[in-house]
C-alpha cells in the first residue's frame, strides 16, 4: 500500500506499531462517533427536558452530521499548512468547548449551535486520523494502523452508545455531554506525547481536492461510499421499528450488541488482512451488507431472522471505513482525499436518515430493507467493476 502524504514525510520505520499514538487516534475517533450518536439513546429524556418532540430533538444528530459534511473540505484546505498534530489538538479543543456548552445550556437553539460546532471538530478529526495513522508506520503495516485508528466507530456503536445511554439515564443527558468534554481535554496531552508532529500540505488544499477528484477510480469509490453508508444509516436509524416488526421490540439492546460484536470481528479481520486482500474484503463487505438487508426484509418470519440479519450487517459494516479510506488514499495518492470521503460519509448519513423517515411514514418499516437492497445492487456492481483503479487487486 502506498500513500503519499502531503508533507511527503515518513516518520516511523520501525517494525512494531506505535500503539500509544494509534490508540490516541482511536480515542479521538471514538469520541467523534459517540458524541454524534449519544442523542439517539437519550431522545425521550432530552425531549422532555427541552419541551420538544423526539423528532425535533433528533435533529441534533442531523445538525452534527451536516456540520461535518459542510466544513470538512474547506477547513482542511484552510489549515493545510498546520501540522497534523496541531489540527488534531485544535479539533479536540473545539470538541471540549462545544460539549461543555451542550452540558450547560437549557435552550434548544443554543444546543443546536453547540452540536453544529461539535460537528465541525468531528470533521477535522475524521479527516485526519486515517492518514495520520498511515504516515507514522512503515508501508507494509499501514492497513493494520489505519484499522486500529478507525476502530473507534464500531467500538462506539457497540459499547460507547449503550454506556452513554446508561450514564445519561443515571445522571442526566447534559452530564453525558460534560463527560465527553472532559475526555476530550484529557486526550490532548496524550496526543502531544504519543504522536509525531507531522507537517501539513505544501500545496494549495483546494488544488489537492480537485486533483484527487480527477484521479482514476476516486469517483467510483465515492459512489460506492455513498450507496454503502446510505444503506447502513437507513438500517441503523430505523432498527428500532424493525425490531418491533420482528416481535422483539424489548430486545433492542441485545440486537445492537450483536451488531457491535459482529462489527468488531469484521474490523479485526480487516486490519489483519487488508494489505494483501483489500479488493476481496471490499467486495465481500458490499455483498454481505446487501445480503443482510435482504435477510432483514424477512424479520417478520421469526426473531432469529432479525439476529442473523443484524449479525451479517455488522460483519459487512465493521471494516468499511478502513476499506474506503484506504481505497481513496491509494487511488488519489494523497491523504488529502480523507476530507472528501468524510464529507460523502456524512451527507450519506443524513440522506439515509431522511429517506428512511419518508419510507417509514409512507410505506411502512418493512419497505426499508428492500429499498436498501435496491440501493446495494448498483453499489455492488460498481465495487466489482472497479478492478482497474478504484478497487484493484493488490495481492
All cell numbers assigned to 93: 479543543
Residue 306's closest CA among 356, 255, 250?
255
Residues 356 and 375 in one domain: yes
Give residue 227's pLDDT: 94
Residues 249 and 345 in one domain: yes
Q: Yes or no: say if 72 and 124 are a contact pair by the CB < 8 Å rule.
A: yes
Which CATH number do you get for residue 163? 1.20.1250.20
Residues 50 and 103 in one domain: yes
- How far apart, in whole angstroms, are the C-alpha atoms of residue 327 and residue 334? 11
Residues 364 and 333 in one domain: yes
Residues 2 and 30 in one domain: yes
Q: What is the DSSP string of 226-293?
A: HHHHHHHHHHHHTHHHHHHHTT-GGGHHHHHHHHHHHHHHHHHHHHHHHHHHHHHHHHHHHHHHHHHH
* Count of domains forming the chain: 2
Give residue 11's pLDDT: 44
- Cβ neighbours for 348, distance < 8 A, ≥ 6 positions apart: 225, 226, 227, 228, 229, 230, 233
Give the 3-state secondary structure of 317-384.
Answer: HCCHHHHHHHHHHHHHCCHHHHHHHHHHHHHHHHHHHHHHHHHHHHCCCCHHHHHHHHHHHHHHHHHH
Task: Examine the fold and report which residue of 173, 202, 231 is the final residue of a domain before the chain moves on.
Answer: 202
Residues 289 and 190 in one domain: no
Rounded (5°) CA angle 318-324-325: 110
Residues 16 and 70 in one domain: yes
Residues 110 and 208 in one domain: no
Task: Examine the fold and report which residue of 134, 167, 202 is the final residue of a domain before the chain moves on.
Answer: 202
Model pTM? Answer: 0.76
- How far apart, in whole angstroms, are the C-alpha atoms of residue 349 and residue 229? 6
Residues 162 and 213 in one domain: no
Residues 157 and 228 in one domain: no
Residue range(s) defining the domain that contains residue 326: 204-395
Task: Examine the fold and report which residue of 202, 217, 251 is the final residue of a domain before the chain moves on.
Answer: 202
Give residue 205's pLDDT: 44
The DSSP call for residue 159 is: I
Residues 348 and 219 in one domain: yes
All cell numbers assigned to 316: 459487512
Encode the chain (395 residues) as per-residue pLDDT tens digits. Answer: 444 444 444 444 446 788 999 999 999 999 988 888 788 767 677 888 888 876 677 778 878 888 988 888 888 888 878 888 999 999 999 999 999 999 998 889 999 999 999 999 988 888 888 888 888 888 777 777 887 887 887 777 667 766 776 777 788 889 989 999 999 999 999 999 999 988 875 444 444 667 777 888 888 999 999 999 999 988 887 777 888 889 987 777 788 778 888 988 888 888 778 777 889 999 999 999 999 999 999 999 999 999 999 999 999 998 888 888 888 878 887 766 777 888 888 788 778 777 877 887 788 889 999 999 999 999 999 999 988 888 888 54
Residues 239 and 167 in one domain: no
Give residue 215's pLDDT: 84
Give residue 284's pLDDT: 94
User: 209-214: which pairs have CB atoms within 8 A and are 24 or more residues apart?
Assistant: 209/73, 209/77, 209/336, 209/337, 209/339, 209/340, 211/332, 211/334, 212/328, 212/332, 212/334, 212/336, 212/337, 212/340, 213/340
Amino acid at each position: 500500500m502506498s500513500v503519499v502524504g502531503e508533507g511527503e514525510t515518513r516518520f516511523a520505520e520501525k517494525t512494531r506499531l506505535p500503539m500509544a499514538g494509534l490508540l490516541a487516534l482511536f480515542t479521538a475517533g471514538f469520541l467523534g462517533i459517540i458524541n454524534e450518536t449519544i442523542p439517539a439513546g437519550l431522545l425521550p429524556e432530552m425531549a422532555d427536558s427541552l419541551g420538544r418532540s423526539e423528532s425535533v430533538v433528533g435533529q441534533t444528530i442531523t445538525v452534527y452530521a451536516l456540520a461535518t459534511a459542510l466544513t470538512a473540505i474547506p477547513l482542511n484546505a484552510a489549515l493545510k499548512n498546520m501540522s497534523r498534530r496541531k489540527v488534531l489538538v485544535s479539533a479536540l479543543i473545539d470538541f471540549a468547548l462545544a460539549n461543555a456548552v451542550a452540558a450547560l445550556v437549557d435552550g434548544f437553539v443554543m444546543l443546536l449551535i453547540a452540536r453544529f460546532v461539535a460537528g465541525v471538530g468531528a470533521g477535522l478529526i475524521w479527516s485526519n486520523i486515517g492518514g495520520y495513522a498511515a504516515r507514522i508506520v512503515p508501508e507494509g503495516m499501514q492497513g493494520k494502523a489505519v484499522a486500529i485508528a478507525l476502530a473507534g466507530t464500531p467500538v462506539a456503536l457497540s459499547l460507547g452508545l449503550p454506556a452513554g445511554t446508561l450514564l445519561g439515564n443515571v445522571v442526566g443527558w447534559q452530564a453525558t455531554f460534560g463527560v465527553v468534554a472532559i475526555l476530550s481535554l484529557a486526550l490532548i496531552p496524550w496526543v502531544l506525547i504519543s504522536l509525531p508532529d507531522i507537517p501539513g500540505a505544501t500545496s494549495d488544499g483546494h488544488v489537492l481536492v480537485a486533483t484527487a477528484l480527477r484521479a482514476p477510480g476516486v469517483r467510483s469509490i465515492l459512489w460506492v461510499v455513498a450507496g454503502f453508508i446510505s444503506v447502513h444509516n437507513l438500517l441503523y436509524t430505523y432498527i428500532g421499528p424493525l425490531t418491533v416488526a420482528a416481535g422483539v421490540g424489548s430486545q433492542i439492546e441485545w440486537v445492537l450488541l450483536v451488531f457491535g460484536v459482529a462489527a468488531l470481528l469484521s474490523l479485526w479481520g480487516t486490519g489483519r488482512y487488508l494489505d494483501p486482500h483489500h479488493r476481496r474484503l471490499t467486495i465481500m463487505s458490499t455483498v454481505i451488507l446487501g445480503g443482510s438487508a435482504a435477510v432483514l426484509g424477512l424479520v417478520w418470519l421469526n426473531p432469529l431472522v432479525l439476529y442473523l440479519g443484524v449479525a451479517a450487517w455488522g460483519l459487512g459494516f465493521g471494516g468499511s471505513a478502513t476499506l474506503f479510506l484506504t481505497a481513496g488514499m491509494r487511488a488519489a495518492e494523497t491523504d488529502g482525499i480523507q476530507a472528501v470521503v468524510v464529507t460523502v460519509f456524512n451527507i450519506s448519513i443524513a440522506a439515509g436518515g431522511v429517506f428512511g423517515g419518508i419510507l417509514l411514514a409512507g410505506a411502512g418499516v418493512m419497505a426499508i430493507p428492500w429499498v436498501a437492497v435496491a440501493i446495494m445492487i448498483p453499489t455492488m456492481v460498481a465495487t466489482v467493476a472497479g478492478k482497474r483503479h478504484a478497487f484493484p487487486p493488490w495481492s
